[in-house]
Structure 1
Amino acid sequence: MGSGIIEGRMTAAPDGEVTVFLIGMRINAFRHPRSWWPVLRAMPRMLKELSRDGESGLLGYRLLFGGPRVIYSVQYWVSPEKLLAYASSPEGAHRPAWAEFNRRARAGRGRVGVWHETYVVPAGAHEAVYVDMPPFGLGAATEVVPVGRRGEAAAARLSLGERRG
């Protein structure tokens, strides 16, 4: 098939718990790029820094557009502790970017918004199917295996029987 496509029905197979972190920005005033351009530029810089550091805890990510005003990243981390360690580290790119955002946000009076959501997903409490796809999402961040290894039905992959039993 080409383009890295894996034929058939595959599923994600992370080793244990995974932390999903969504973070993004919303451009509230397009005519004021001095307010939002630095925010837009900061995320790729941080993701590059994290990707180069094998100990950072970042498993993988994808940058996405949620319409003309919203840009966000879906990130997969080995643990919430690793995510929080990066966010609070004085050595990384995050702290200076966050300080700069706060300075510009005060001056820009609502011209750009930021948001984040964090989900800690226990082992077996996730379900994914990729059909004739290249590695994507959680599967790209961890690994993909044939669906049958984790169960043919979504309920089996979510370990619902084990939790109800």
Structure 2
Amino acid sequence: MRTKTHIGRTTAGEQGDVVVFLIGMRINRFWAVHRWLPVFLAMPMMLKELSRDRSLGLLNHVLLSGSPRTYVVVQYWESKEKLLAYAAAPESKHHPWWGRINRYLRNSKGHVGLWHETYVVPEGSYETIYGDMPEYGLAKAYGVASLAEGVHAKDRLKI
């Protein structure tokens, strides 16, 4: 599928707080595939579930690789309440996998690492700019807006 490139400078369209959730894993021992592969495969299942039902609150996600060992998913959420509700919902794919992943980590003896960070960024405390880019990151989550000529990062950050 070909994505439309927005020529010129654009910014993300949303006004308001932004919820960013980072989750990642690090393969500490490549040879222990049976320890890290189940952890690696859990995330696509959850992302598929979240993508099918937008009412759960995930607006967009970006997959990143920091190295052959490290994988990160940047997620943009509608609200912290929806993020926390999904994490705790017994009917979600997250709920049973979280228990399994905790068991894998307890038994892995350091073969795989897992981490997450959650940021609730108040309006006026973030800014975005995209030059000749398709919708990406926050702009894919909230839509693209034109960027007025002469408007600078300090204007968008309201500092």
2:155 match: 156
Name the CA distance, whole Å, in 1 between partners of 2:8 and 2:66.
Answer: 29
Per-residue CA shift, 1:34-84, capped at 9, x if unaligned?
A: 110011111111011011112111110011101111111000001111101
Q: Displaced runs of 4+ in structure 1, greater than 3 A?
A: none
Using the TM superposition, give the Cα deviation of residue 15 of structure 1 relative to its aligned residue in structure 2, in angstroms. 3.7
Matched, 1:54 2:31: no
Q: Structure 2 regions of 5+ residues with no counterpart?
A: none
Superposition map of 1:1-150 within 5 A? 3-148=3-148
Paired AA for residue 33 in structure 1: V
Paired AA for residue 35 in structure 1: R
The alignment covers a number of residue pairs equal to: 158
The TM-score, its normalising length taken from structure 1, stands at: 0.91
Per-residue CA shift, 1:12-49, capped at 9, x if unaligned?
A: 12142110000010001100011100111111110110
Paired AA for residue 5 in structure 2: I
Name the CA distance, whole Å, in 2 between partners of 1:97 and 1:20.
Answer: 21
Name the CA distance, whole Å, in 2 between partners of 1:21 and 1:55.
Answer: 17
SS in 2 for 1:68: coil
Using the TM superposition, give the Cα deviation of residue 3 of structure 1 relative to its aligned residue in structure 2, in angstroms. 4.3
SS in 1 for 2:14: coil
Name the CA distance, whole Å, in 2 between partners of 1:13 and 1:30.
Answer: 41
SS in 1 for 2:118: strand
Name the CA distance, whole Å, in 1 between partners of 2:3 and 2:142.
Answer: 19
SS in 2 for 1:50: helix
Using the TM superposition, give the Cα deviation of residue 124 of structure 1 relative to its aligned residue in structure 2, in angstroms. 2.2
What RMSD, in angstroms, separates the aligned Cα atoms of the two structures?
1.4
SS in 1 for 2:87: helix
Name the CA distance, whole Å, in 2 between partners of 1:69 and 1:94.
Answer: 23
Deviates more, 1:33-42 or 1:103-112: 103-112
